Amino acid sequence: MTAPDSPDALIAIWQDRLAAITCNANELSDAETTKRIRIKARQGLYCGETKVQADAAVAQLCTLVEDYVLLAQVVDQAIRANQGGLFTSRDARHAKVSALLLGASIARAAGDVPIQHRTLLGAATAQDRLSPEQLLTRMQQAFVDARDTFDQIDQAEHTMAQVLASLQDDYARIQARAEHLRATVDRPPLIDLPLRQSDPLSAVAGIEALKRNLKTWADRLEQIEAVQQEAQADLLQTAALLDEVRQLVSQQETEAVQLRDVLGSAALLGLSSIEPSQYALLDQWQQTLAHHFATGQWRAVQVGAQKLNLALHEARTTAQQGLAELRLHAKDLADVSGSYEALKAKQHLLRVRNPTAAMDTGLVEEIQRKLQARPLDLAAVRDLLKIFQSQLNAH
């Protein structure tokens, strides 16, 4: 049984490791994702953060190959040392293999030495002395970094276009909403698609920023839309009040014309009423608010509607009061006419009961003349009706 720290065992371990490295490194290098990204990087199709990361991943693959060669050379040296010669002792072979596979047996380039740090006889390039285990640790990290970078770029390339297309649809929808609301505030710039196709890693970060900006924009539009809806409700309320005032004024005018023909203009003086100029002013005010609404000045509509609303309520109260006063006159006229007709009916009954009863026909004729006169003198008719009532009561 071979001891775990024997030269054969150490060599076998590293041969297995080299085999695993060869398999994994080749699969990573031959992967379609790696090939595509390497070609695009070589052709200069990347820019920005993606170019930096792609170039670094490609460099890590190259370094991985170079380090593999260094590691394989040391393992080959260990195999040859383990074979030894006729005059090489077992202990010497063991020591040589251990030095190669366990000691700092690998000289690895560590980059250029700046001229200000060199001596006259100093080397232009620095070297690190590493053990195979230390070099393997670096190779492992390079492999993981390259693998993850290729994967990130690949995912960004595949998802970026789809996500950005969706965001462009959202942007267009919100923009249409903003144009409808005539709102230009908080409009974020849209990510340039051709640029982001060449820098998908930056696009991922940019897309997240755009998502946040779109949300901020949409939230702001919701606030503006709420103001618009409130302004629209205020405008509809004032329009309804204005129409109510218009109907009251029209009704008052219609009824006033009828009474004016009977009672004369003097009898209707002093009635509460909305002058045409006052109504025209209210109507113009409403039209101004409608114009403000149409041009997106919704705050101005809210403020103006509040004031117009008060004025319209006052106008409605005045119009209602004037109509009520007018209808009192109409009621007086109806009462007088009704009283006359009632007295005539009573007179007729008296004549039926007592045909010989004396009746003052002249008084009735006078009342009829007064009722037909224009303008009608209600007070005079009332006085005559009282006399008529007294005469009828006497019978």
Q: What is the pLDDT of residues 117-140, one digit of tens each?
A: 777 777 777 788 999 999 999 999
In a domain, 22, yes or no: yes
Same domain, 256 and 367: yes
Range of the domain at 39: 7-111+126-159
Higher-scoring residue by pLDDT: 179, 39: 39
Higher-scoring residue by pLDDT: 86, 177: 177
Query: Domains in the chain: how many in total?
Result: 2
How many Å apart are CA 54 and CA 56, to the nearest integer?
5
Same domain, 252 and 153: no
The residues near 6 (Cβ < 8 Å, ≥ 6 apart) are 94
Same domain, 356 and 265: yes
Judge whether 322 and 334 are in contact, CB under 8 Å: no
pTM above 0.85, yes or no: no
Q: What is the pLDDT of residues 226-254, one digit of tens each?
A: 999 999 999 999 999 999 999 999 999 99
In a domain, 306, yes or no: yes
**Tally of CB atoms within 10 A around 156:** 23
Range in 51-60, 107-116, 274-283 the model is least confident about: 107-116
Same domain, 151 and 278: no
In a domain, 200, yes or no: no
Q: What is the pLDDT of residues 322-379, one digit of tens each?
A: 999 999 999 999 999 999 999 999 988 888 888 776 667 788 889 999 999 999 999 9
Same domain, 140 and 252: no
**Tally of CB atoms within 10 A around 31:** 15
How distant, in Å, are the alpha carbons of 45, 50, 389 from that of 196?
11, 10, 104
Same domain, 16 and 153: yes
Terminal CA-CA length for the chain: 157
**85 pLDDT above the threshold of 70:** no
Which of 137, 159, 181 is the last residue before a domain boundary? 159
Same domain, 135 and 24: yes
Same domain, 386 and 258: yes
